[in-house]
Amino acid sequence: MTAHVAVIIPTLRRPKSLERAVRSALVQTGVSDRLREIIVVDNDPQASSRETAARLAEEAGLPIVWRHAPRPGVATARNAGLAATTAPLIAFLDDDEAASPGWLAALLTAQAATGADAVFGPIRGRVPDGTGWTRPYLERFFGREGPDRTQLIDAPYGCGNSLLVRATALPGAAPFNAAADQSGGEDDALFAALAASGGRFGWAADAWVDEFAPPHRATLRYALTRAFAYGQGPSQTAAAARDWWAVARWMMVGAAQAAVWGAAALGLTLIASPRRADALDRCARGIGKLFWMKGFEPHFYGTRELARLERQASS
């Protein structure tokens, strides 16, 4: 069988994490004749992953293609990875993830069984020791759950741990909108357009990856900020399509969520229940649906993350 799958791993100054992700992709089972290449996209202006990628390429029995996307941004990095390959099937693995040995085979099997244009798999969230009472919530937050069997699903997930059919799910030379470089959510509009065109989404129940949250992200404050951003997604997608009725509908949904879960969070906080983190999460997502406009978007990627890394290096 002709190799026809490429794994794209965007990265930004995470050398140890990147090496873990690449090594996990190199030891995939059952896909030796199908995996064409692993593409590492360095989103650091200083090209800091070049030596790591070169060393791993020397050790590997599989092509590792390194590309430099010097303008920091998650959408720009994904587009650069796509430009580096002609593979008809694209698997995305984030640089803070590690794939289980059967990950890619499970994604491919699910795609063949369902005929889906985009297939997603489950994620185990991993957080550092010492996170205290928020640990169960944070592990769920950085994880991903779905059906217990492989099947078609109604709604998509994020790009991390996914397999996309290039011809239908990734139209054009740059399908990820670079306007989302700093805030993320570059896949929301992509998958909304795919759904609108009749595209199908699938779930690969055995395509497991672990996602390792670094200490600066494994906090309640960070997770709630991300939850707010996730909540903005439906309203922003509707606004981009100029579907103002849908925007109004999502804002009403958000107002109800904020009120109900805000009250629940208050009550759970009074009794010091660990479940208050989940209630705060849902409240934050509701507020995000209300405040979806430009100026309210939190930035997690691109230049903001690069600035954080430079401050960390100089301290």
Q: Which conformational region is residue 113 in: left (phi greater than 0), alpha (psi within -120 to 50 degrees), or beta?
A: alpha
C-alpha angle 59/64/68, rounded to 5°? 125
Statement to judge: residues 186 and 255 lie in one domain:
no
Q: What is d(CA 219, CA 156) in angstroms, rounded to the nearest whole number? A: 26
pLDDT at 185: 76
Please state the pTM of the whole predicted model.
Answer: 0.91
Q: Among 185, 212, 239, which residue terminates a domain?
A: 212
Statement to judge: residues 38 and 184 lie in one domain:
yes
DSSP alpha helix (H) spans, 242-275: 244-270
Query: CB neighbours of 44 closer than 8 A, spacing ≥ 6?
Result: 11, 12, 13, 70, 72, 306
Residue 125 in contact with residue 141, Cβ under 8 Å? yes
Statement to judge: residues 48 and 191 lie in one domain:
yes
Statement to judge: residues 163 and 248 lie in one domain:
no
Residue 98 in contact with residue 119, Cβ under 8 Å? no
Owning domain of residue 296: 220-314
Residues of the chain falling short of pLDDT 70:
1, 301-303, 307-308, 315
Query: CB neighbours of 49 closer than 8 A, spacing ≥ 6?
Result: 11, 13, 15, 18, 40, 42, 66
The H or E element containing residue 55 is: helix 50-59
Across the beta sheet with 162-165, the strand order is 64-68, 35-42, 5-11, 89-92, 162-165, 118-120, 201-203, 151-153
Structure tokens at 42: 């360095």
Statement to judge: residues 206 and 76 lie in one domain:
yes
The CATH number assigned to the domain holding 127 equals 3.90.550.10
Statement to judge: residues 85 and 129 lie in one domain:
yes
For residues 249, 252, 254 and 256, what is the CA-based torsion angle, rounded to 10 degrees? -140
pLDDT at 1: 54
Residue 128 in contact with residue 218, Cβ under 8 Å? yes
Statement to judge: residues 86 and 181 lie in one domain:
yes
